[in-house]
Structure 1
């Protein structure tokens, strides 16, 4: 790892900048969830609407942004996205001043557009500053920073919101995003070969969008992810909204312990980010195993109403998530051409986030109608089914590869 860091100074700048970006995201996310809970009186429906607003832009604009990410210069696109996120802090200040849930929802929606625009070119950006043989290490380091922020972001975000107040918390977010902007701006990129002129107008965008989806569908390693990501989104949509109610209803804990719940998952992810890369399994095997583990642990979280049981399954769930995330990111960067990274990535994200957003919007109402245990059991079953589906589809790919070699 240290040899990689010494030999890739441009990636290090990008990586350090991402620490500030992810910390800013977590501080903002925790402030938003507590603000929504406070303004709505703890309404599950309000939490559903807010989370729907945070993910809906990827469903609505994801494929379109994927085309733009492949067309536009990667660095300028990412910097523009960070600038949008900085500007939206001002609108969030207005939402707090007006005590308006509607404005909070608008900020969540618009911020999500900036986040999609930031993430879509990040894979190709990494490929331009890291050699192909080092991409897996780059993915591991990105997972490490993400896991660490998962650990420290929620409790720090909670302490900031409760301790220094909303105004200073928002100012800190502004500073963190500005530092992220500066680090990305400092990264120099090698010149790319000049792309063939893209067809202009709406018709040209649609043609490239369809081409991106076709690339995802025709790639035998990517196609299974289209199906599994839909089931992943179904499960995550229900779980993300209702996880805070696992604490307040199932474990009878105050809502402030939500930061501890998320931090526990962060501990698991951080440990897993060191352990999983050492596991000698193929990417398909890690993808499959990771999803199966997440499904079983989702159901296990509500197997017995004691916080030690729930939190133990949260840690194991984190191992499955890290295995899934690292394997999918590495697979995409090694089997998909750079010119299609934005479109293929956003195609997968749109499929997963589409079902996630629908479930997020429905979760609050389902919680009013059905027992919490039944909904979480359904979420875990969907994740388990996704893992089993991956196993069947990749087994078929392996069989075909015996006749026509395909890297696994």
Structure 2
């Protein structure tokens, strides 16, 4: 691997064995998450009869761990080996998620139990996510980061393409609880693949002297480390406006996906399978977006790629708001909206992640991503709660138009910033 990293030209990331295993494990978690989304929505809305506000709460508790421990997780990840964290927390997510079907089969499942299980699953997910991005630069070269993120984006969107219909089909066939057990198995298999991953000895997975310090020293300095990560992110010329725009985007997006589930399953009366189909279209076009992401980044720059996507999100959700309560045309417009939404995310994510990884020093990667992620998920908690409450108070359409205004604000913030024309490499 060292020989590959010293070669003059970039290599296809999947030819690197360590990245290939990381990609395979991550792909399984993407599939598990895509199936879980449909199964949880069907379970909570259709089978447990949750109100709009309760749906918002269920959405919010999945992001709440990022608010509570996200920053600490990032600081700790910069001290720990990433591989053991990935193995343990991914397996933990699978075990925690399996509690829901077990309780369902025992006849003792309720909304509170679902919320607790998803909260624990999200807690493990905080540490999984905190370790994933910092370990990536140890698996590929810097000039391969956008391509590596594109490969991950392609597998994510492939999972979003086939995962929701598969999840919807499983829900219709064997029920939501059994579908969640299938997702649990996916997480466990992913942990096995992470266990076989071998990062570069000179990469980010190598322990630093601080990892070997006494626990008392760790306690004394961890808050200083957290502040260093926050200071880097929120004092950077381009990362600061990117972060602020992304925080606003997560507020809007969390509210939007909460209302979308209610709008599709309850307002339009779609079956779990058709609901899965609408989500799958976002995966289909997201895959196309991820395929062209490196080309778009090279042509217009990573900064402009992110800005272009942020400008199109309000359009996609406006189509949802305009969808009529008709079983045919309503479904058609939801499918079109999800297709545009998925394509934007497909080409935006690799360019955004590749840019952030390229301009952030290796020793700050964990804290920078954790700071960004914690703030994003904190906004997602607020967005999910607001989306559910507003949907019950002012209706689905009024809530959607308010969400569109927030998406527009996110686009304005980054569109008027130094991210215009920003590139990871000269």
Normalised TM-score (structure 2) = 0.87
Matching residue within 187, 192, 214 for 2:231: 214
Stretch deviating more after TM superposition (70-79 or 87-96): 87-96
Does 1:127 pair with 2:137? yes
Say whether the 8 Å CA contact 1:230–1:355 is kept in structure 2.
Answer: yes
CA contact (8 A) 1:225 1:348 kept: no
Which residue number corresponds to residue 34 of structure 1?
42
Q: Residue 319 of structure 2 aligns with which residue?
A: 300
Q: Distance in 1 between matches of 2:346 and 2:424?
A: 24
Q: Deviations over 1:280-307 (max 9, x none)?
A: 1111101111111112221232224233
Q: Which ranges in structure 2 are unaligned for 5 or more consecutive residues?
A: 1-9
> Is the contact between residue 153 and residue 290 of structure 2 (CA under 8 Å) also seen in structure 1?
yes
For the pair 1:230 / 2:247, whether they are aligned, the reply is yes
The counterpart of 1:52, out of the listed 42, 46, 60, is 60
- Say yes or no: does 1:153 pair with 2:143: no
Match of 1:243 among 257, 260, 264: 260
Query: How far is 1:251 from its partner?
Result: 4.2
The structure-2 alpha-carbon separation of the partners of 1:174 and 1:300, relative to structure 1 and needing over 3 Å to count, comes to closer
CA contact (8 A) 1:93 1:167 kept: yes
Cα 1:213–1:324 change in 2 (3 A) is: same
Shift of 1:171: 4.2
Q: Give me the CA root mean square deviation.
A: 2.4
Residues 242-251 or 178-187, more deviating = 242-251
SS at match of 1:394: coil
Q: Give the distance between the partners of 1:284 and 1:271, measured in 2 at CA.
A: 19
CA contact (8 A) 2:171 2:272 kept: no
Residue 63 in structure 1 maps to residue 71 in structure 2: yes
Deviation at 1:381, TM superposition (A): 1.6
Q: Describe the superposition over 1:231-273 as per-residue Cα deviations: whole angstroms up to 9, x where unpaired.
A: 1022112101100233246645445532112111111111212
Query: Which residue, out of 74, 78, 90, partners 1:82?
Result: 90
* 2:293 counterpart of 1:276: yes
- Of 362-371 and 157-166, the range deviating more from structure 2: 157-166
Flag the 1:59–1:6 CA change in 2: closer, same or farther, 3 A: closer
Query: Do the aligned residues in 2 keep the contact of 1:48 with 1:364 (CA within 8 Å)?
Result: yes
> Aligned with 2:208: secondary structure?
coil
Counterpart of 2:415?
A: 391
| Cα shift at 1:391 | 1.5
CA contact (8 A) 2:36 2:180 kept: yes
Matched residue, 2:396: 372
Question: For residue 7 of structure 2, what is the aligned residue in structure 1?
Answer: none
- Deviation per CA, 1:164-201: give whole Å up to 9, x if none: 34564344334322221121111112224652426725
For 1:350, the equivalent position in structure 2 comes to 374
2:353 alignment counterpart: 329
Aligned counterpart, 1:111: 121
Residue 290 of structure 1 is matched in structure 2 by: 309
- Structure 1 CA distance for aligned equivalents of residues 53 and 143 of structure 2: 47
Q: Secondary structure at the match of 2:254?
A: helix
1:144 is displaced (CA, Å) by 0.2
1:142 counterpart residue number: 152
CA distance in structure 2 between the partners assigned to 1:406 and 1:179 by the alignment? 34
Secondary structure at 2:238 match in 1: coil
Partner of 1:34, secondary structure, is: helix
Whether the 8 Å contact between 2:35 and 2:163 is mirrored in structure 1 is yes
Secondary structure, aligned partner of 1:213: helix
Q: Deviations over 1:115-136 (max 9, x none)?
A: 1111111112111111111111
Tell me the TM-score normalised to structure 1 length.
0.91
Choose from 13, 22, 30 the match for 2:30: 22
Note if contact 2:292-2:347 (Cα within 8 Å) is conserved in structure 1.
no
Q: 1:84 to 1:32 in 2, by over 3 A?
A: same
Residue number in structure 1 paired with 2:172: 162
- Gaps (5+ residues) in structure 1? none
1:295-348 residue CA offsets vs partner (Å, 9 max, x unmatched): 222123222423323322221122222232122101111001121111111211
Q: Are the aligned partners of 1:247 and 1:255 in contact in 2 as well (CA < 8 Å)? A: no
